[in-house]
Homo-oligomer: A and B are copies of this chain.
Amino acid sequence: MVTLTEVAKRARVTAATVSNVLRNREKVRPETAERVLKAISELGYRPNLNARALAEGRSSTLALMLSNLSNPFYPEFVLAAERAARKAGHFLMVCNTDDDAEIGRAYLNQIAGTLADGVLVMNTDIAINELCISAMHSAPILLAMWEHPEAPPALPCIAVDFARAGALAAGHLLELGHREIGMLVGDGCGGLQDARSNGFRAALREAGVETDTSAELVVRDSIDSGYAACMRLMASKPSLTAIFATNDLLAIGAGQALMSMGRAIPGDVSVIGITDIQLAHQVHPALTTVAINTTAIAELSIERLIRLIQQPSQAPEMVLAPPPELVVRASTGVRRSRAR
């Protein structure tokens, strides 16, 4: 690899001058700067960013720690976060913890404050106070998707009003005349999605509709689990006219289960999810869902993390993401006057 010294030699200047050219061209005489830039280009020299970051007391890399990239929501978040980071001049390193708190700890110990200047943490099994200690000793940590805005954590976070997402789903089904509604509650990466199901139940209750707790199943977040759970649900409660799932993967699995049972969507049963992952509009019938605006959350997370790195001593602040929005597609419809 070409070194700074070789560039200096070729340009007949000192290493300090090369360094000055790289950092602050104004300090160097134009003719000298031109000679240095020519030597850099001829030799194919690349300044060592690690070294520069160390010298300036900052690195240009952010880390994003997530529990499982195989859930399609995460790649979509990563995509948006990486774009936002890149626009702000930062690189984004993705750390996948494989749903294992130990791996998460290993990453935090090894990268926070060293390879990465700040860490975005999404749905982790590591306890908040453990994260606080790491944040104190090494680099700022921001929780990218806090599901309980009513109870701010001891760390800076972007909060998403998932209770409102659940309420929107309930409102939509009520408006279509549904009363007998099955519920699939996700319990995968990051724990039980209870803010969503509680919001859903509360909105039904407000409209005078009590949910049937025997028509609720708690399942792991995946299409496969949604499929299996919906099969069980419809077998035990064939009169259900709608299924609410706390995330799109479960809703997509439920939709496939209904089709394979010969139930028409939405003719016989309506299906609604939460998140609006890409697949939601790609499946047929396209899924009605409550969009949380993943891109906006990712951008807000990156922006706030960079701010934390620049002003580290702030009190933990909770920022509320834009409110969730109902996206009506083909999987929900008016309840049939006579249910099967």
Q: A46, B115: Cβ atoms under 8 Å?
A: no
Determine the distance from Cα of A78 to Cα of B1 in the docked complex, in whole angstroms. 28
A interface residues, tally (CB under 8 Å): 60
A45-B137, A74-B75, A86-B103 are known; give 11 further A-B pairs, CB within 8 A: A1-B113, A46-B112, A46-B114, A49-B111, A54-B54, A83-B96, A91-B95, A94-B94, A256-B283, A257-B284, A279-B279
Determine the distance from Cα of A74 to Cα of B114 in the docked complex, in whole angstroms. 27
Residue of B whose beta carbon sits closest to that of A57: B1
0 or 1 for each of A89-128: is its CB under 8 Å from B? (1 = yes): 0011111101000010000011111110000000000000
Determine the distance from Cα of A54 to Cα of B284 in the docked complex, in whole angstroms. 53
Q: A69, B75: Cβ atoms under 8 Å?
A: yes
In the bound complex, residues from chain B placing their C-beta under 8 Å from that of A17 are none
Residue of B whose beta carbon sits closest to that of A43: B137
Q: Which residues of A, 251-292, contact B by the 8 Å Cβ criterion? A: 253, 256-257, 259-260, 278-279, 282-284
Q: Which residues of A, 129-173, contact B by the 8 Å Cβ criterion? A: 133, 136-138
Determine the distance from Cα of A230 to Cα of B257 in the docked complex, in whole angstroms. 24
Shortest Cβ-Cβ A-B pairs, 8 listed: A44-B137, A49-B114, A75-B75, A223-B282, A93-B93, A256-B284, A94-B94, A69-B79
A22 on interface, CB distance cutoff 8 Å: no
In the bound complex, residues from chain B placing their C-beta under 8 Å from that of A98 are 83
In the bound complex, residues from chain B placing their C-beta under 8 Å from that of A114 are 46-50
A53 on interface, CB distance cutoff 8 Å: yes
Total copies of the chain: 2
B93, B253, B284: the one within 8 Å of A91 (CB)? B93
0 or 1 for each of A69-89: is its CB under 8 Å from B? (1 = yes): 110101110110011001000
Determine the distance from Cα of A298 to Cα of B86 in the docked complex, in whole angstroms. 25
Given contacts A72-B72, A282-B224, contact A91 B79 (CB under 8 A): no
Determine the distance from Cα of A284 to Cα of B283 in the docked complex, in whole angstroms. 11
Q: B115, A96: Cβ atoms under 8 Å?
A: no
A176 on interface, CB distance cutoff 8 Å: no
In the bound complex, residues from chain B placing their C-beta under 8 Å from that of A91 are 93, 95, 110-111, 115
A207 on interface, CB distance cutoff 8 Å: no
A2 on interface, CB distance cutoff 8 Å: yes
Residue of B whose beta carbon sits closest to that of A48: B114
B70, B257, B283: the one within 8 Å of A79 (CB)? B70
Determine the distance from Cα of A279 to Cα of B92 in the docked complex, in whole angstroms. 27
In the bound complex, residues from chain B placing their C-beta under 8 Å from that of A284 are 227, 256-257, 259-260
Given contacts A284-B256, A284-B259, contact A96 B110 (CB under 8 A): no
A51 on interface, CB distance cutoff 8 Å: yes
